[in-house]
Structures are given as structure tokens and as C-alpha cells.
Amino acid sequence: MVTFSPGQDAARRMLEGPQRYACLAGGTRSGKTFLIIRAIVRRALQAEGTRHAILRFHANAARASIALDSLPQVMRRCFPGTPLKERRQDGYFEFDNGSRIWIGGLDDKDRVEKILGLEYSTVFLNEASQIPYSSALIAFTRLAQVAPNIPQRAFVDLNPVGKTHWTNQLFGEKRDPVSMKHLNDPENYCRTFLNPPDNSANLSTEFLMSLSNLPEKQRKRFYEGIYVDEVDGALWTYGLIDANRRPEDTIPADKRAAVVVAVDPSGAAGRDDLGSDEIGIIVAARGFDGDGYILDDLSCREAPIVWGRRAVIAFHKYRADCIVAESNFGGEMVRATIQAADRNVPVRLVTASRGKAVRAEPISVRYAQGQVHHVGRFGKLEDQLCAFSSAGYSGSGSPDHADAAIWALTHLFGRDDGAGIIEFYRREAEGGSGA
């Protein structure tokens, strides 16, 4: 008998829910395809004479991964002894009750016309990150076979890509990917995330470790299983940040020439004030090697007395030189909030006289030149940085973590920024920057 982890069991229950369209998104080898094929086989056995289509973008991948791997695994582990005959020439597998599972690729014109010339009780788009929405729409029009024992169902799975992908617009934002209008029946579109740790009983520790050590962009897709922001002309990229990441013991206290705690305040009244932005609190250092280092992200949504104490504790923990705080929100009140926790802490108020993107660009230059390193992983900060372009910030909410980091690094690099920008664009013009 197959046993499921709590995450897999939640996904199984979602697949059996009342919605017409269901999406399983998440990291690689988490059991998404296995669970969906298991649901399809159960439906085929429950309703005799029904048809079920499993489609990938490429026909050869459909045969290799589904017909020769996933489907036999599901039958062996979940339905032992149940006869299933392959009619390879016709492109389907058939049960004794007359139900059939068709397997094909959307790039095989002849096979697609043959498959999509029929109506189905189930349509499954496997690895939908590779499938254009125009092709998905055509496949969904074939979800029309009426069976007495089972409702029509469309299943989709994928390793998440960018947030603009049609699967995220449809199942996450509940918008039509063509018109971008809100769906009339959002309850018919459900999504659950499933990741490799949810399948740890069937994966080696070494494999999970290898996924967790992937470069950041690939790590988010194949291990964390999340959609990422895609920004044209981004000032930062996950690859750039990851290329300059350092282990946590890189810059001990005796190698830090200067340390600051930077605060980007908001009007949050407390942690339950979900309508307000977080208070960005970033600890950064400049080493004797001249490079900048992000040491910690302590951002939070708390009342002033709490975040003020949090910033002061970080000041003492990291032996900082001062706390740098953006003064546009609250002015001297920000200084008073911090010094209420410790009146002896030096506070430097800075004023945002330029737009966010203008302030961000000189710091992005430092990253491009390999002069800034994240000492560890700071997921929310890095997501916000990668949502910046020269046109502005395109992420959701406020870039509170990123703003604090930019204030910290601007203070640490001081007046060096002008020379850095000139050098960066000179190298860009010569085609030598690698950004």
C-alpha cells in the first residue's frame, strides 16, 4: 500500500475536489505527476468506456516519461494486478472495462489531430511550463465526454517559472491569460504546491542536498517550487546575486571595516496590521577588501517599540557603527523610536530625495561588478531586488527589505558610487561587463 506525506495527501484531496481545473505546481521529484496519473487511473476504472488524455509539449518526452515510466510505476504501486494493455500503434493504453488513456505530444501534428479529434473525461497537461496557452486552450476544448460516474476534469502540473506564465495567471491570480480579466468562476480553478521535501521518503538525502545547493533561480524553481518575478531590464538577477553569494563564515568581525544597521520604517501598528508594509531592517558591512556584505535581514511588521528594540539589538550584536534610518516616514520620530530602546545608539537619518529606481541603480552597479555579497540566503530581499528595473519597482507591495539594503550599502560605499557608475557604463559600452 502506498503511503503519502502530509503534503502529498493534501494534494491528493485537492485533485479529488469539485473544481473543474486543478493545478499541482512545485519542485522536481515531488510526486506531482504520480498523484495526477493515479487520479486518472482511478477515474478510468470507475467509469467504463471513458477516455483520458495525457499531453506533453514533445511527443518523445510524453512516451519516455509517461508511457514508459510514470504510468507503469503508478500501476505497479497503486493498482497491482490490474490489467492494462498498450495499443502503441493507436497511441493509447486500455483497461478491461474499455476505458483508455491516450498519451501524446502537442508537437506531433498527426498524433495531435488524432487525439484531439476525440472527446475526453480527463485532460492532463504534463510539464505545462513548456506548453503555450493557445495549445492548452485547444486541449481544454476536448474536455467534453459525458460519463455517468465521473465529472469532467482538467489537470495541470509544472515546475513553476515566471509569474507571468499562464498557469500563474489562471490558477494564482484567477485571471484569464488573454483578456487579463478576473474569472467569472474562480472556484473552478484550484492550485496546490508540492515540493521535494514532501517526497523525502522516496528521495535520497544527497539528491535533496543537491537541489538545495542549485543556483538561486534554479533552486527557486526545482527545490522551493515557486513562481519568480520576471522584469525586463532588471537591475538585479538571481544569477547575479547567486554568483557572488558567500558562506556565513566569510567575513568575521575582525575583517569588517564598517557595519551598519539600516531601517526603512513604515506605518505598521503591529504584526496584525496586514494592510501596512513591513519595516525593512538590514545589517550590512564593508570589508577591508572594499566589498559590501549583506549579513542579516531582520525585517518585520511590528509596532514601533518592537522594531526599534529589534534594530538596537542588531546594532549591538553586530557591533555596528550606527543605525541608518530613512526619515521621510516619521522624521525625528524614527530617531526617537530607536533611541527609546537605547539613547546612546548613533542614528543617521537619510532623506529620499530621488526615486527608488534612481537610488537602486548605483547599488546594482556594485552587484554587477561583483562588489556586493550576500552572506547566506535572504529570499524576500532577493525577490524584491530582482523586481527592480530602471523603470521602477514592479513587485507587489513596497520593496521594504530592498530599500533598507540599498540605504545600508549606499552609506557604506559613500562617495565611491560616482566612479563606480562611470566605470560600469564604460565597460558596458565596450561589451565587457558581464551584467
pLDDT at 419 (0 to 100): 41
Residue type, 250: T
Last residue of a domain, one of 224, 255, 281: 224
Percent of the chain with pLDDT over 70: 93
CATH code where residue 267 lies: 3.30.420.240
What value does the mean pLDDT take over residues 72-98?
95
For residue 288, what pLDDT band results from cuts at 50, 70 and 90? Answer: very high
Residue 316 lies in a domain: yes
- Taking the model in full, what pTM does it have? 0.67
Least confident of 19-33, 57-71, 148-162, 386-400: 386-400
Residue 434 lies in a domain: no
> Looking at the structure, do residues 210 and 261 belong to the same domain, yes or no?
no
CA distance 231 to 3: 41
Set of cell numbers at residue 328? 521621510
Provide the sign of the torsion angle of the four alpha carbons 369, 370, 374, 378, taken in this order. Answer: positive
pLDDT over 80 at 137, yes or no: yes
What are the C-alpha distances in Å from 139 to residues 103, 116, 271? 13, 7, 45
pLDDT at 433 (0 to 100): 37
Model pLDDT for residues 226-279, shown as the tens digit of each residue: 998 777 788 998 878 888 999 888 899 999 999 999 999 987 878 877 777 899
Last residue of a domain, one of 224, 254, 286: 224
Model pLDDT for residues 150-195, shown as the tens digit of each residue: 999 999 999 998 887 899 999 999 999 888 889 999 999 999 999 9
Which value, in Å, is the radius of gyration of the alpha carbons in the chain?
26
> Looking at the structure, do residues 188 and 280 belong to the same domain, yes or no?
no
For residue 306, what pLDDT band results from cuts at 50, 70 and 90? Answer: very high
Q: Give the total number of structural domains in the chain.
A: 2
Residue 32 lies in a domain: yes
pLDDT at 259 (0 to 100): 97
Model pLDDT for residues 33-55, shown as the tens digit of each residue: 999 999 999 999 999 999 999 99
Q: Are 247 and 375 in contact (CB under 8 A)?
A: yes
pLDDT at 271 (0 to 100): 82
pLDDT at 353 (0 to 100): 64
CA distance 107 to 86: 22
